[in-house]
Amino acid sequence: MIDILLVEDNEELGGLLVDFLKAEGYSVHLSRTGEEGEAYFLSEGARLVVLDIMLPGMDGFAVCRSIRMSSNAPIIIVSAKIEKEDKLNGLLLGADDYVEKPYDIDILLAKIGGIFKRRYESDVLICGDIRLDKTRRAVYKKDELIQTTAKEFDLLLLLVENAGKALSKDMIFNKIWGFDSFSEPQTLTVHIKRLREKIEELPKAPMHIQTVWGVGYRFEE
């Protein structure tokens, strides 16, 4: 999953911001239309979205609304639309922040860095209604503690850390049990079944731990 999806139709500004973000160590994808940004996010996901409002075709408000229907990924709106109604609309649609153009690049980078530090560099991972405390090695669903074995926790952590990304069965098995493990690959299937029984509302129709046929599994918020 990419770090930052930038949706910006201004070629010069978009390219400049991409360069600054990459210099800070982020992986970045630039989309120049709302439709392209929406399609990329729904297909690949992103840990954070920096979103312009005035885009050709589908505007940023519509993109924000679409993303919020399936994800709680942080969204920063950057726009020259500075009226109070525009700001309220963006925030009510689920944006985490609204930055006026022209913006100070250092301020924007500080806001992005703050979000990544709070959201992704702490010992707690939040993905939808699932919360993982890496220090306590504890799993919570809607603030209710879920009892897991050590391997179940490691497996869920791997899936959540790669939320939105399809992971192959071989990759998961080798990561959790190791290349030299005496366990059978079927062990992974058993652990997936147990996790679904613990965190899914309908284990036989899972919303979080989804099977990607012919590949492996993917965690969705």
Q: What pLDDT is recorded for position 214?
A: 92
Checking DSSP bridges between strand 28-31 and strand 167-168, what pairing results, if any? unpaired
Domain finish residue from 77, 93, 120: 120
Verify that 116 and 189 share a domain, yes or no.
Answer: no
Residue 27 · residue 3 · CB < 8 Å: yes
Low-confidence ranges of the chain (pLDDT < 70): 121-122, 179-183
98 and 189 co-located in one domain: no
Instruction: Examine the fold and report which residue of 68, 87, 120 is the final residue of a domain before the chain moves on.
Output: 120
Give residue 221's pLDDT: 82
Q: Report the alpha-carbon distance of residue 161 to residue 54 in Å, rounded.
A: 32
- In this structure, what CATH number is given to the domain that contains residue 72? 3.40.50.2300
Select from 120, 151, 181 the last residue of a domain: 120
Block residue for tokens 């299937």: 189
Specify whether 73 is located in the same domain as 151: no
Provide the pLDDT for residue 129: 85
- Domain containing 203 equals 124-219
Q: Which residues in 157-171 are b (16+ Cβ under 10 Å) and which e? A: bbbbebbbeebebee
Q: What's the Cα-to-Cα distance from 120 to each of 27, 54, 129, 213, rounded to whole Å?
A: 14, 29, 16, 29
Amino acid 122: pLDDT: 66
Is the same domain home to 14 and 53? yes
Instruction: Count how many Cα atoms sit within 13 Å of the Cα of residue 125 in the half-sphere of its side chain.
Output: 18
* Same domain (yes/no): 25, 113: yes
Q: How many domains does the chain have?
A: 2
Q: 131 and 195 share a domain?
A: yes
How would you write 6-58 as a 3-class SS string?
A: EECCCHHHHHHHHHHHHHCCCCEEEECCHHHHHHHHHHHCEEEEEEECCCCCC
Pairing of strands 144-146, 138-141: antiparallel
- Residue 23, both tokens: 């210099």
Question: Do 93 and 194 belong to one domain?
Answer: no
Co-location of 98 and 164 in the same domain: no
